[in-house]
C-alpha cells in the first residue's frame, strides 16, 4: 500500500519528515489519525526503527484502538510490535515491569477505579463529625488525595519517606488559597468551609490511611499509575533504560495532556524523534491539569520542532466548517483565525437550526419530533449532546415520555451513557469482583462486595470487626478468612509455621530477560530449602539459556548474553529440576508473585506439566502487614532497617538469603509469639466464611484451565449471581428496565471477543481484569454493534463524530456553567462548545429553554458566537 496516496501536501510533509521533531496542529476532521498511522508505516518502510521502537500515545481507548487498526491495515503484521497505548496503560506497563525490583508496589497490583477508591474513602471517613458520605464530598476528598500525590512528584520533595513528603505537600497546598478554593468550591459556586476545616485537621491522616488501605489490597488508583512512574523516573538509570527503548515517539491530543503527564513522558524525549499532535482549541480538561500553552512553550523551547498545520477538513459540510471557524474567532479573537480550514467536501450544507423552548420537556419534545423527521436509516448516526449529566437525565426523561406514545416497533432507540459503561455497572462489578479475587487474593474491596450482596451469614458488623485495628495488629486481613489453609490450621500463618517444622519452606527468586511474564524468559534461578531454624538446608542455583537476548535487563541483573551462552542450561532441563526441588514446598519470596507468574507462564510455553497454584507467602506482604508505616518496604531497606546480616543485590542467591533472613525475623518477632491470640481471633468468625472459601477455591482451580469468558459463566451460574438478579430484577420502568443478566451476558461476550486462546488462561484473565479497570466506556464499539441514539455529555463525545448532532440545554448558567463565568474556566467552556459543534458532519441543531422551575433563563452567549448567516431560527 502506498502510504502517500491521497494525502495533501501538509499531510505528506508530516509523513515524510522523519528527521525533525514536529509540532502538528490538526483541527477536528483534518485526517490526523490517518497521518499518524501513515507516518508509522513510513518509519518502518524506511527502516528507521523496529516496531517496538515506535511509541504512540493517545488520550482515549477509542483513539488507541482506531490507531492500532489503521497501522495494521497499512503494514499488516509488521505493525504488531508498534506500541500504541493510552498514557495510563503505558504507565501500567512500566509499573508492571519495574515492581519486580523496586517493591514500591506489589507485582500483582490491580487498579482500583473511582467507585472502589470512593469506597475506601467512605470507610475511612465513616466516623467523621462532618457528613462526608455524599458523593460530591467524596469526590472532593478524592480530588484532594490526587492533588497531593501529583504535587509531591511534580514539586517535591519526593523522597523514600512518603509520609514526610505528604505532610510537606499538604501544608503547602493548604497555604495556597487558590488551590483550596478549587478543592472546596461547590458545584453551584458556593464555598464549603466545613470541608476546608476538615482537610486542615484530617487531610494528612486520611491520605496516609488511604495509601495504607490501597497497599493492604495490593492496589493502586489512577493517580498512582502516573505518579508511580514519575517517581520511578527520578532514578536516572530506570529513566535511561526506558528512553533507550524508543526511537520515535508520537503524542496525540497533546492539548488534553496534563502537566504531570507531560512532565513524565518528556523525560523520554531527549535524543528521540518526537511528534506532538493536537488542536489547542479543543482543550477541555483544564480541571485535570491540562495547560496546552505551557506544554507548547516547553516543547518548543526544548526541542525546536518544525511546525506543520493541517487545513483541509474531510469531515464537515462547507457551511458547518465556515460556521465553526467564525465561531472560533468570535470566541477567542484574531489568534483563532490561524486554524481556518478548507472543506474537502463539495456539499454546501444545511443551515444550523436554533430552537427556543419554554421548558426542558418542550425542548425534549422538539428534539424528538425533529429526529422523527429524519429517515430511520439515519438514526444510528444521531447524537444528543449536553453540558452535564443532570441535563442528560432531563432530556432522557423527556424524549422517553414521548417515545412511549409510539407503538413498540416504531420507537426510537435512545440510550444513556450509563448503558455504555459496562464495566462500571453494578452487576458487572459483582462478576469482576469474583474474577479479581482469583488473581489478587488480597483484594478486600472485592471480597467485601461479594460478602455484602451474596453471603447471607456475613454482615457489615462482622466485616467491620475484622477490619478493626485489633485484628490488623495481629496481621489479620479480611481475605485471610477465605484462605483454605487458614481453615485447615485456624491461622493464616499456620501453613507457614507447619511447613517450617517439616523443612518444606522454599525461598525462591528468578532473574529474567524482562518483566513481561507472557513473553520474557527466566535466565537465573536460585532456591533454598530451609531447616526448622529457617537456615539453608539445601540449595538450587542455575543459569538458564533463553531464546532471546537479555536486552536492557542486563543493567538490572548484570548477566550478559555471553555468560548465559557459556553457563546457561536448557530450560527444558532446568525447570523440571526446579519443580522436583520444590516438590511439596511452600514458596516464600519478596514480591514473589512475579517470580511465580513467569515460572508458570514459561512452563506452559514449554509444555512442561506444572502444579496449579503453589502455596506461597510474600515477605513484602508480611512486612507491610506488621510495619505499614515504614518509609518503604524494599528488600534492601528492610534488611538495613532491621540490621540483618544478609543483604540483597540483584543476584538471585543473595536476594533469597536476604529474604530468608526477613522471614526469620517476622516469625521470631510477630508470627510465632502471636499465634494464640491470632487463632482465638480467627475462631470467632472463621466458620462463617467456610462456604465462601470453598466456593472461591473451586473457581480458583477452574481458572487454570478455563478461559476468562468461561469463568464469567461459572461465576454467574455457580455463585448465585443469576439467582440474585432474577430475584431482584428491575421491573420499575416498563421496557426501559435494566436487564442486569443481559449485561452480564454482554460482559461474557466482551471477554470472549478479547480472548487470546494461545495464551495461558490466567494470563488472559489478568489482562481482562486490567482492561476492565483501564477502560472508562465502550461507547464507540457498542454503537457499532447495536445502533442507538446516545444522550451524552460533550466530554463523553470527545473523539467521536456524528452525522446529526443535537446540542441541547444552551442556557446561561448551564453552558457556560454558573461557576465558570470568567478567567480560565470560561475559556475552557468556550473550547468545550467548540468541541461540541465540531462533532457534526452534516447538520447541527442548537436548543435551549427559558424556564427552569422558578428561574428565568437566557440563551447561552455561545449561540451568538455563530454568525446569523449560518443559522436558521425554528419556532
Q: Is 118 marked as a binding-site residue?
A: no
pLDDT (mean) for 350-371: 95
pLDDT value at position 129? 66
The answer to whether the bond into 816 is cis (omega within 30° of 0) is: yes
Residues 662 and 554 in one domain: yes
pLDDT value at position 288? 45
Q: Compute how many other C-beta atoms are within 10 angstroms of the C-beta atom of residue 234.
A: 13
Residue that is last in its domain, among 747, 774, 801:
774
pLDDT value at position 117? 92
Whether residue 469 is contained in a domain is answered as no
pLDDT value at position 287? 40
Q: Using a pLDDT cut of 70, give the percent of the chain over it.
A: 93
pLDDT value at position 291? 65
Say if residue 563 is exposed, middle or buried (CB neighbours under 10 Å; 0-12, 13-18, 19+).
middle
Whether residue 457 is contained in a domain is answered as no
Q: Is 33 marked as a binding-site residue?
A: yes
pLDDT value at position 346? 63
Residues 656 and 610 in one domain: yes
Residue that is last in its domain, among 217, 246, 263:
217
Q: Is 27 marked as a binding-site residue?
A: yes
- From residue 412, how far is each of 48, 152, 165, 393, 768 by CA, in Å? 52, 50, 55, 17, 33
Residues 151 and 211 in one domain: yes
Phi then psi for residue 571, to 5 deg, are -60, -25
Q: Which is it for the CA torsion 125, 131, 134, 136, positive or negative?
A: negative
Q: Is the pTM of this model over 0.85?
A: no
Residues 306 and 325 in one domain: no
DSSP for 166-190 reads HHHHHHHHHT-HHHHHHHHB-TTS-
pLDDT value at position 758? 85
pLDDT (mean) for 611-626: 91
pLDDT value at position 285? 42
Q: Classify each residue of 627-643 as buried b or exposed e, where b means 16 or more C-beta atoms within 10 Å of its C-beta.
A: ebebeebbbebbbeeee
Q: Is 809 marked as a binding-site residue?
A: no
Whether residue 363 is contained in a domain is answered as yes
- From residue 607, how far is each of 80, 568, 576, 594, 601 by CA, in Å? 25, 20, 11, 20, 10
Q: Is 393 marked as a binding-site residue?
A: no
pLDDT (mean) for 502-510: 95
Quick one: how far is CA 167 from the chain centroid?
27
Q: Which helix H or strand E contains 123, and what residues bound it?
A: helix 114-124
Residues 78 and 116 in one domain: no
Q: Is 28 marked as a binding-site residue?
A: yes
Dump pLDDT digits (tens) for 685-703: 999 999 999 999 999 999 9
Q: Identify the band that residue 776 occupies on the pLDDT scale cut at 50, 70 and 90.
A: low
For Cα atoms 82, 85, 88, give the angle at the middle one, nearest 5 degrees: 150
Distance CA 772, CA 194 (A): 36
Q: Is 31 marked as a binding-site residue?
A: yes
Query: Is 262's pLDDT higher than 60?
Result: yes
What is the domain-level CATH number for residue 331?
Answer: 3.40.50.300
DSSP for 474-524 reads TT--GGGGG-HHHHHHSSTTHHHHHHHHTT-EEEEEEEES-S-TTT--EEE
Residues 135 and 202 in one domain: yes
Q: Compute how many other C-beta atoms are within 10 angstroms of the C-beta atom of residue 265.
A: 22
pLDDT value at position 659? 96
Whether residue 340 is contained in a domain is answered as yes
* CB 816, CB 324: distance < 8 Å: no
Give me 324's grid cell.
465553526
Distance CA 569, CA 575 (A): 10
Phi then psi for residue 274, to 5 deg, are -115, 135
Domain that holds residue 712: 427-438+688-774
Whether residue 285 is contained in a domain is answered as yes
Residues 30 and 133 in one domain: no
pLDDT value at position 783? 56
Residues 287 and 363 in one domain: no
Q: Using a pLDDT cut of 90, give the percent of the chain over it.
A: 56
Residues 197 and 294 in one domain: no
Q: Which is it for the CA torsion 753, 757, 758, 764, positive or negative?
A: positive
Least-confidence region, from 95-104, 125-134, 736-745, 861-870: 125-134
Q: Average pLDDT over the chain, rounded to whole? A: 88
Distance CA 850, CA 254 (A): 38
Query: Is 341's pLDDT higher than 70?
Result: no
Query: Is 851's pLDDT higher than 90?
Result: no
What is the domain-level CATH number for residue 565?
Answer: 3.30.420.10
Residues 808 and 743 in one domain: no
pLDDT value at position 344? 61
| 655 Cβ neighbours under 8 A, 6+ residues apart | 509, 526, 590, 635, 648, 649
Best-predicted range by mean pLDDT among 369-383, 450-464, 539-553, 668-682?
Answer: 668-682
Best-predicted range by mean pLDDT among 133-137, 520-524, 771-775?
Answer: 520-524
Check residue 812 and report its DSSP letter: T
Distance CA 543, CA 442 (A): 32
pLDDT value at position 693? 96
Whether residue 171 is contained in a domain is answered as yes
Quick one: how far is CA 270 from the chain centroid?
27
Query: Is 387's pLDDT higher than 60?
Result: yes
What are residue 541's DSSP bridge partners?
526
Whether residue 756 is contained in a domain is answered as yes
Q: Domains in the chain: how many in total?
A: 5
Q: Name residue, grid cell 506461597.
A: 616
Q: Is 203 marked as a binding-site residue?
A: no
Give me 686's grid cell.
472463621
Residues 747 and 612 in one domain: no
Query: Is 734's pLDDT higher than 70?
Result: no
Dump pLDDT digits (tens) for 175-227: 887 888 888 887 767 888 888 888 999 999 999 999 999 998 999 999 999 99
Residue that is last in its domain, among 259, 277, 310:
310
pLDDT (mean) for 392-418: 86
pLDDT (mean) for 718-724: 88
Dump pLDDT digits (tens) for 812-829: 999 998 887 778 788 889
Residues 645 and 622 in one domain: yes
Whether residue 478 is contained in a domain is answered as no
Amino acid at each position: 500500500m502506498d502510504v502517500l496516496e491521497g494525502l495533501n501536501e501538509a499531510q505528506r510533509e508530516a509523513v515524510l519528515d522523519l528527521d525533525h521533531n514536529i509540532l502538528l496542529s490538526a483541527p477536528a476532521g483534518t485526517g490526523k489519525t490517518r497521518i499518524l498511522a501513515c507516518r508509522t508505516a513510513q518509519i518502518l518502510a524506511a527502516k528507521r526503527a523496529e516496531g517496538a521502537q515506535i511509541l504512540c500515545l493517545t488520550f482515549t481507548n477509542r483513539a488507541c484502538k482506531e490507531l492500532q487498526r489503521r497501522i495494521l491495515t497499512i503494514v499488516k503484521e509488521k505493525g504488531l510490535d508498534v506500541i500504541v497505548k493510552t498514557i495510563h496503560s503505558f504507565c501500567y506497563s512500566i509499573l508492571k515491569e519495574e515492581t519486580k525490583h523496586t517493591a514500591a508496589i506489589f507485582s500483582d497490583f490491580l487498579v482500583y477505579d473511582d467507585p472502589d477508591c470512593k469506597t475506601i474513602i467512605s470507610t475511612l471517613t465513616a466516623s467523621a463529625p462532618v457528613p462526608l458520605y455524599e458523593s460530591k464530598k467524596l469526590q472532593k476528598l478524592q480530588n484532594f488525595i490526587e492533588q497531593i500525590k501529583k504535587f509531591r512528584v511534580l514539586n517535591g520533595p519526593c523522597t523514600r519517606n512518603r509520609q514526610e513528603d505528604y505532610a510537606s505537600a499538604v501544608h503547602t497546598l493548604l497555604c495556597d488559597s487558590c488551590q483550596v478554593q478549587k478543592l472546596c468550591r461547590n458545584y453551584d459556586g458556593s464555598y464549603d468551609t466545613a470541608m476546608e476545616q476538615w482537610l486542615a485537621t484530617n487531610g494528612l491522616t486520611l491520605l496516609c490511611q488511604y495509601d495504607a488501605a490501597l497497599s493492604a489490597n495490593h492496589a493502586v488508583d489512577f493517580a498512582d499509575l502516573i505518579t508511580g512512574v514519575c517517581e520511578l523516573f527520578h532514578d536516572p538509570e530506570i529513566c535511561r533504560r526506558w528512553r533507550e527503548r524508543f526511537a520515535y515517539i508520537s503524542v496525540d491530543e497533546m492539548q488534553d495532556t496534563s502537566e504531570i503527564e507531560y512532565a513524565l513522558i518528556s523525560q523520554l524525549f531527549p535524543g528521540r524523534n518526537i511528534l506532538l499532535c493536537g488542536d489547542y482549541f479543543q482543550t477541555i480538561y483544564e480541571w485535570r491539569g491540562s495547560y496546552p500553552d505551557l506544554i507548547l512553550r516547553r516543547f518548543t523551547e526544548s526541542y525546536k520542532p518544525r511546525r506543520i498545520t493541517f487545513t483541509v477538513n474531510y469531515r464537515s459540510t462547507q457551511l458547518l466548517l465556515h460556521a465553526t471557524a467564525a465561531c472560533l474567532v468570535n470566541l477567542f479573537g484574531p489568534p483563532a483565525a490561524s486554524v481556518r480550514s478548507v472543506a474537502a467536501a463539495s456539499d454546501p450544507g444545511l443551515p444550523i437550526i436554533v430552537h427556543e423552548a419554554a421548558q426542558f420537556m418542550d425542548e425534549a419534545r422538539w428534539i424528538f419530533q425533529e429526529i422523527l423527521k429524519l429517515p430511520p436509516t439515519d438514526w444510528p448516526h444521531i447524537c444528543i449532546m449536553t453540558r452535564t449529566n443532570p441535563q442528560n437525565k432531563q432530556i432522557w426523561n423527556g424524549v422517553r415520555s414521548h417515545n412511549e406514545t409510539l407503538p413498540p416497533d416504531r420507537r426510537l432507540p435512545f440510550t444513556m451513557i450509563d448503558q455504555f459503561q459496562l464495566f462500571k455497572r453494578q452487576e458487572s462489578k459483582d462478576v469482576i469482583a469474583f474474577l479479581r479475587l482469583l488473581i489478587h487474593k488480597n483484594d478486600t474491596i472485592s471480597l467485601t462486595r461479594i460478602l455484602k450482596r451474596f453471603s447471607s451469614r456475613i454482615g457489615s458488623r462482622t466485616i467491620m470487626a475484622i477490619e478493626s485495628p485489633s485484628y490488623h495488629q495481629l496481621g489479620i486481613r479480611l481475605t485471610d478468612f477465605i484462605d483454605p489453609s487458614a481453615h485447615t490450621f485456624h491461622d493464616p500463618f499456620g501453613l507457614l509455621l507447619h511447613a517450617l517444622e517439616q523443612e518444606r519452606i522454599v525461598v525462591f527468586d528468578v532473574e529474567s530477560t524482562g518483566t513481561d511474564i507472557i513473553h520474557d524468559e527466566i535466565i537465573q534461578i536460585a532456591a533454598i530449602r530451609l531447616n526448622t531454624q529457617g537456615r539453608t538446608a539445601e540449595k538450587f542455583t542455575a543459569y538458564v539459556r533463553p531464546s532471546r537476548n537479555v536486552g536492557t535487563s542486563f543493567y538490572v541483573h548484570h548477566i550478559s548474553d555471553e555468560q548465559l551462552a557459556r553457563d546457561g542450561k536448557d530450560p527444558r532441563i532446568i525447570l523440571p529440576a526446579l519443580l522436583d526441588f520444590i516438590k511439596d514446598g511452600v514458596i516464600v519470596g519478596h514480591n514473589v508473585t512475579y517470580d511465580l507468574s513467569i515460572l508458570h507462564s514459561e512452563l506452559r510455553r514449554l509444555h512442561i506439566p506444572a502444579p496449579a497454584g503453589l502455596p506461597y507467602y510474600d515477605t513484602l506482604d508480611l512486612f507491610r502487614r506488621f510495619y505499614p508505616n515504614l518509609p518503604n518496604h524494599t528488600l534492601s531497606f528492610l534488611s538495613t532497617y532491621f540490621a540483618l546480616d544478609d543483604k540483597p543485590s540483584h543476584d538471585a542467591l543473595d536476594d533469597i538469603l536476604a529474604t530468608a533472613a526477613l522471614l526469620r525475623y517476622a516469625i521470631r518477632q510477630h508470627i510465632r509469639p502471636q499465634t494464640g491470640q491470632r487463632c482465638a481471633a480467627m475462631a470467632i468468625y472463621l466458620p462463617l466464611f467456610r462456604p465462601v472459601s470453598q466456593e472461591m477455591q473451586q473457581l480458583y482451580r477452574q481458572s487454570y484451565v478455563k478461559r476468562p469468558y468461561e469463568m464469567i459463566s461459572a461465576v454467574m451460574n455457580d455463585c448465585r449471581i443469576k439467582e440474585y438478579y432474577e430475584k431482584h430484577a428491575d421491573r420499575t420502568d416498563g421496557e426501559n428496565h435494566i436487564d442486569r443478566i443481559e449485561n452480564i451476558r454482554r460482559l461474557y461476550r466482551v471477554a470472549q471477543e478479547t480472548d487470546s486462546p494461545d495464551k495461558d488462561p490466567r494470563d488472559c484473565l489478568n489482562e481482562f481484569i486490567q482492561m476492565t479497570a483501564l477502560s472508562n466506556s465502550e461507547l464507540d464499539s457498542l454503537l457499532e454493534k447495536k445502533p442507538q441514539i446516545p444522550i451524552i455529555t460533550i466530554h463523553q463525545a470527545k473523539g467521536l463524530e456524528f452525522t446529526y448532532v443535537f446540542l441541547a440545554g444552551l442556557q446561561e448558567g448551564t453552558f457556560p456553567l454558573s461557576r465558570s463565568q470568567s478567567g480560565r474556566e470560561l475559556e475552557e467552556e468556550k473550547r468545550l462548545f467548540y468541541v461540541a459543534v465540531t462533532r457534526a458532519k452534516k447538520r447541527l441543531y442548537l436548543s435551549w429553554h427559558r424556564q427552569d422551575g422558578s428561574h428565568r433563563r437566557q440563551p447561552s452567549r455561545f449561540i451568538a458566537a455563530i454568525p446569523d448567516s449560518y443559522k436558521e431560527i425554528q419556532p
